Amino acid sequence: MNEKFPSSEKLKSKILIDRLFSEGRSIKNFPLKLIYLPLKEPSKTCKTGVSVPKRNFKRAVDRNYFKRLMRETFRKNKYLVESNPEQKYAMMFVYTTAKKFDYHQINTCLIQILEKLKEKEASHEKINN
């Protein structure tokens, strides 16, 4: 199992980020929110980004800490999303609260969100087929 998080998997394209926030669907599980968009163009990997609003944490040190936590938990659990080789996503994880949660709470929340994403997209594919 590949647990790397290389530059090719990071969401950096401004055009794709704008499309993600305008057309994307969301899944919420306190304290995280996932905004995702199925990619139409052929892509080898899912594109993922993380965000912590300045409104919740004024100090950059705190924002960077939670970004690091979310990237690490996604890196460890990305196999949940990449198990479907036909469909890839552009995803943005947003930390939605001003409360400070530890690694284990964020990890369980992120796993639950990824499981919900798999279920939601599996039911969506059944409807379309």
Q: What is the CATH number of the domain that holds 15?
A: 3.30.230.10
Task: Give me the half-sphere count of Cα atoms (radius 13 Å) on the Cβ side of residue 105.
Answer: 10
The answer to whether residue 1 is domain-embedded is no
Cβ atoms 54, 69 nearer than 8 A: no
Q: In terms of residue numbers, what domain contains 83? A: 7-116
36, two tokens: 């995702």
The sheet that has 32-38: what strands, in order across it?
25-29, 32-38, 89-95, 47-51
The answer to whether residue 126 is domain-embedded is no
Tens digit of each residue's pLDDT (9 = 90 or more) over 37-54: 998 877 778 899 999 999
The answer to whether residue 52 is domain-embedded is yes
Tens digit of each residue's pLDDT (9 = 90 or more) over 17-76: 999 999 999 999 999 999 999 988 777 788 999 999 999 999 999 999 999 999 999 999
pTM recorded for the entire structure: 0.90
23, two tokens: 């057309």
The answer to whether residue 61 is domain-embedded is yes
In the chain, the number of structural domains is 1
The answer to whether residue 12 is domain-embedded is yes
